[in-house]
Structure 1
Amino acid sequence: MKAVYSPLHARHDGGMELHRGELVPCFEMPSRADYIRDAVTAAGHGLTAPRDFGLAPILALHDAGLVEFLRSAFDQWKAVGKDGFMLPSGFAARSMRQDVIPPGVNGKLGYYAFDAGTPIVEGTWDAAYASAQCALTAAALVAEGERAAYALCRPPGHHAAKAAYGGYCFLNNAALAAQYLRDQGRATVAVLDVDYHHGNGTQDIFYDRADVLTVSVHGTPETEYPFFRGFADETGEGAGLGFNRNFPLPRGTDWDSYRGVLETALGVVAAFKPDALVIALGVDTYENDPISAFKLKAEHYPLIGAAIARLGLPTVFTQEGGYAVAEIGTNVAAVLTGFERV
C-alpha cells in the first residue's frame, strides 16, 4: 500500500494545550508522524509525496472565513506584537452573538476555535495544508485504481468542522478524501471513524447529505472529548436523516466488547453499499494511550485492518489520533498490514 507523507508536518509544533483544565505540553507532537513513517516503511509500505490540489477542494467543504483565518492567523498574531503559540481566551458560546466575526485576532480565535487545546504556531497553516494534500493524494490513488492508500496526515482532521477548528484539527482530511472520491464519480462514499474520539467535524460536514454515510465508533461523549457531539441519537437531518450513525462506548471498553460494536458498524457500512470507503484511522484506542481509556492491545490492530478489508471496498486511510507515541507506528502499520493480508 502506498503511504502519502509530507515532511512539512513538522512545521506545526504546538507547544502547550489546555487539557482537562491544565496547561500541558501538546500530546499531538511531530514525533508521532516520524514513528508512523518509520514503521509503515519498515512494514513495506512505500512512501510517496503528496500532489498539490490547491485550495479549491478545501474551500468546497470549509467556510472561506475559517480558511482565510487559518492562513493568516499567525501574521495577525505577530502584528499585535505577539509570538509563540496562539490559544483563544473566549468563545462564541451560548448567550454570545455568533453572527458577528470580531475584527481582532483574539476575537477571531474564539470565534473559529471550539477548544483551547489546538494551538496555532507560525508553521501551522503549512502543515495543515500539506496534510490535506496528503489525504487528497491518497484519494486520487484509489480513484485511479489502487485498492487502498494511506495518508499520513498530521495534523489530523476529523474534528475540523465546516467553519470551526479544534481537537488538534484544522482541515478535515477524511472529509476531503470522501468528497474527492465523490467528485471523481463514486456515487456514494462511506466514512468509518475508528478514532477514540468522535469525529464531530466529519459529522458536521456531511450531516444533511445522503451521498456520504458517516459512522463512528468512539468513547462516549458523556465523559470523553468532544463532549457535545457523538451521541447515538445524532442520525442526520434533512436529506441526511439516517445517514449518520454513532456508536459511543464507555471508558474501559476492551476488545471483546469493541469487536462486536465494530462488526455492527461495518454492517451499517456494508448495507449502505458504498462505492468507496474512507477510514479515519485513530489508534488512540490503544490501552496505553495517555488521553484515552479503551483497552485494545497491539494484537488487535491487524484484526481491525482485516475486518475493514473484508468489506471489499476501495479504501482510503487518513491518519487521526494516537498519542502513545512510541507505539503509534507499530499499531498503524499493523492495521495496514492486516488489511493487505485479506
Structure 2
Amino acid sequence: MSAIAPPIRRCLALGTSLYWAPEHPAGVVVKVFFSPHHAGHRPAQTFRHGRVVANRDLPARADNILAALRADGHALLNAAPHGPKPVAAIHTPEYLDFLQHAWGEWRKIEGASEDVFPYIFPVRGMDNAYPSSIVGRAGYHMHDCWAPIGEHTWAVAIESANLAVEAASHVLRGEAAAYALCRPSGHHAFADMGGGNCFLNNAAIAAQHLRQGFGRVALIDIDVHHGNGSQGIFYCRDDVFFASLHRDPIDYHPYFAGHAHERGEGRGLGFNLNLPLPKGAGDDAFLAALEAACARIQAFQAEALVVSLGVDAHEDDPTEGLKVTFDGFRRIGARLAALRLPTALVQEGGYNMDTIARCVAGALAGFEGRETQAA
C-alpha cells in the first residue's frame, strides 16, 4: 500500500508562537468497535502512596464513552475473532501463559487475596532466575501493584486486544480510520510485563498487525502517562516509529521512562521520540509538542498511524498531570487526522467519569472534522 499524499499546509497562531498545521481532510468517518464483556474486569482495589485505595479503572469508563459515541451518531460494532497470533506477535509465551493461569494458581494459596497482587519484584542484581511459584512469577511479570489480575482479567484483556486488531484490520482493508474502545488499556504493558492497569499492549499489537500491509508504521501516544511498555517493545526497531507526549516523568508515573534523551537503541536509534511536558501544561504547549511529533512522523515517511488515545491529560482528570481542555482534544484529533494517514485509534487512560466520554467524543469528532454532540 502506498503512502497517502501530504496535505496542504497553513499557519496557525498559538499564543505568541506559530506552528504549521495541514488542512483537515474531508469526509473521514471513524468506525467504532467495542466489547460488551469489558465489565468482567472490575478490580476493586489498588495501592497508592502506601495505602489500599479504590481502583480507578471502572467499567463506567467504557460505558460512558459508549453512551457519548452513540449520542454522537457513531455505529457501535463488535469485532470478529482474530485468534491468538496477533497477541503472540508482541508478547512472550512465558508472559501469556502467566496471564492465562495466574488467577487460578493464586487462588490455591491459603489466605490469598481475591485478585493477584504482586509484592516482591526482581530488582537490580536480583533478576537472574525465573521462579516456579506464582508469587515469584507475579512479581517477575508485573512492574507495579497497579494491575491486579481477577478471575476474568485474562479473557477481557484478550477481547480488548482483539478490538485493536479489528480496528487495524479495517485500516488494512482500506478504511481511513477505526477506533477500538479498549478496556483494559495497554500502553504500560511490555512484551513480558504488565502494570499500570495494563496487561496486553493493544496499541503495539495494532501497530504490528498493520505491518502486514504497511512498511512503516508510526505509533503516537497522547496519554498523560508515558507509554513505557510501547516504547520498550519498539525501542530497538526502525520499522515502527514511537512518539509520546506526556507529563514529565522526573516526578510523575512511570518515573523510570519517558525522558527526552531516550531515543532508541541499535537499529531503533532515532526512531523513538519523547516530548515530556511540565506539570499543568495546557492546550498551547500540548499542541506545540504534537506539532513536533507530527513533523517527525512525516519525516519518518509513515504509511499508517496508531494513536494511543489516552484522555487523562484533561484539566479535570484525577491524575492531575496536565490541563488539556475539551476543545484541546478536538484540536488534537483534527491535527492527527491532518496527517492523512490510515489510522487506528486505541483507547488508553482517562479516569474522570464526568469528562472521559466528552474528551473521547471530542477527539473523534475533531478527527472527523466536525463538532461533537456529546454533552
TM-score (norm 1): 0.97
Unaligned runs of 5+ in 1: none
Aligned to 1:257: 285
Offset at 1:55? 1.2
The aligned runs of 1:237-276 (5 Å cut-off) are 237-276=265-304
Of 11-20 and 213-222, more deviation after overlay is shown by 11-20
1:58 pairs with one of 52, 65, 87: 87
1:156-171 paired onto structure 2 within 5 Å: 156-171=185-200
* Rounded Cα–Cα distance in structure 2 between residues aligned with 1:72 and 1:48: 30
1:36 touches 1:333 (CA, 8 Å); kept in 2? yes
1:83 Cα deviation from its structure 2 partner: 4.9
Structure 2: distance between partners of 1:122 and 1:323: 23
SS in 2 for 1:203: helix
Alignment root-mean-square deviation, CA: 1.1
Q: Please point out which of 297, 304, 319 is paired with 2:347.
A: 319
Match of 2:373 in 1: none
Cα distance in 2 for partners of 1:302, 1:321 equals: 17
Quick check: 1:5–1:47 contact (8 Å CA) kept in 2? yes
* Alignment length (residue pairs): 340
In the aligned structure 2, how far is the partner of 1:146 from the partner of 1:292? 36
- Alpha-carbon contact 1:196-1:292 (below 8 Å) kept: no
Superposed displacement of residue 27, structure 1: 0.9
The one-letter amino acid paired with 1:56 is K
Aligned counterparts of 1:64 and 1:11: Cα–Cα separation in 2: 24
Tell me the residue number matched to 1:110: 139
Kept in 2: contact 1:128–1:155 (CA 8 A)? yes
Separation in 1, partners of 2:113, 2:79: 30
TM-score (normalised: structure 2): 0.89
Which protein has the larger Cα radius of gyration, Structure 1 or Structure 2?
2
Q: Give 1:38 shift.
A: 0.8
* CA shift for structure 1 position 99: 2.9
Q: Which runs of 5+ in 2 are unaligned?
A: 1-29, 371-375
What is aligned with 2:26?
Answer: none
In structure 1, what is the Cα distance between the partners aligned to 2:329 and 2:131?
45
1:142 — aligned with what? Answer: 171
Matches of 1:221 and 1:55 in 2, distance apart? 33
Higher helix share: 1
Matches within 5 A, 1:1-342: 1-81=30-110, 82-96=112-126, 98-183=127-212, 185-341=213-369
Query: Any idea what the Cα deviations from partners look like across 1:243-273, whole Å, max 9, x if unmatched?
Result: 0000011111111222211111111111111
Identity over aligned pairs, percent: 44
CA-CA distance at 1:52 after TM superposition: 1.3
- Does the Cα contact within 8 Å between 1:52 and 1:133 map onto a contact in 2? yes
